Chain A
Amino acid sequence: MAEINIRDVRKSYGKTEVIHGVDLTIQNGEFVVILGPSGCGKSTLMRMIAGLEEITSGDIAIGGTVVNDMEPRHRGCAMVFQNYALYPHMSVAGNIGYALKVAGVKKPEREDKVKAVAKSVGLEEFLDRKPGELSGGQRQRVAMARAIIREPKVFLFDEPLSNLDAKLRVQMRHEIRRIHNRIKATSVFVTHDQHEGMTLADRMVVMNNGTIDQVGTPEEIYNSPATLYVAGFIGSPAMNFLDGLLSAEHGAVVLGDGNRIGLPTRVSPELDGTIVHLGVRPETLSLTSPGAGTFDASFEFYEELGSEGLHHLMVEDVPFSVLNEHKQRLAEGTKVGVNVDPSAVHLFHAETGKRISLSATPAMADGVPA
Chain B
Amino acid sequence: MVEKTPWLNAATHIILLLGLLALLFPMYLVFNAATLDIQTVNSIPPKLTPGPHLWDNLVEAWVSRDFGQKFTNTLILALGVVVGKITIACITAFGIVFFDHRLRMPIFWMVFITLMLPLEVRIVPTYAVAANALSPFQTIFDAVGISWLFNALTGIELSLEWNMLNSYTGLILPLVATATGTFLYRQFFLTIPDELVEAAKMDGAGPLRFLWDVLVPLSRTNIAALATIMFVFSWNQYLWPLLIITDPSYGVVAVELGKLVPDTNTTGGDIPKWNIAMAGTMIVMIPPVIVVIVMQRWFVRGLINTDK
Contact = CB atoms under 8 A, between A and B. Distances in A.
Interface of A: 50-52, 71-73, 77-79, 81-83, 85-89, 98-99, 102-103, 132, 146, 150
Nearest to A156: B202
Contacts of A146: 199, 203
Interface residues of B, number: 17
Contacts of A81: 195, 198-199
Interface of B: 193, 195-196, 198-205, 209, 213-214, 217-218, 308
B218 A88 contact: yes
A73 B204 CA distance: 4
A146 B198 CA distance: 13
Given A85-B195, A87-B196, A132-B308, A79 B218 contact: no
Given A87-B214, A88-B308, A132-B308, A102 B196 contact: no
Contact of B198 (A79, A88, A102, A150): A79
A102 B203 contact: yes
Nearest to A88: B308
A89 B215 CA distance: 10
29 contacts: A51-B201, A52-B201, A72-B198, A72-B204, A73-B203, A73-B204, A78-B202, A81-B195, A81-B199, A82-B195, A83-B195, A85-B198, A85-B199, A86-B199, A87-B199, A87-B213, A87-B214, A88-B308, A89-B214, A98-B213, A99-B203, A99-B204, A102-B203, A102-B204, A102-B209, A102-B213, A103-B204, A146-B203, A150-B203
Nearest to B198: A52
B195 to A, nearest CB: 4
Contacts of B204: 72-73, 99, 102-103
A354 to B, nearest CB: 37
Contacts of B198: 50, 52, 72, 79, 81, 85
Nearest to A72: B201
Contact of B218 (A83, A86, A89, A150): A89
B246 to A, nearest CB: 47
Nearest to B203: A99
Contacts of B200: 87
A81 B218 CA distance: 20
A85 B193 CA distance: 8
A281 to B, nearest CB: 38
Contacts of B199: 79, 81, 85-87, 146
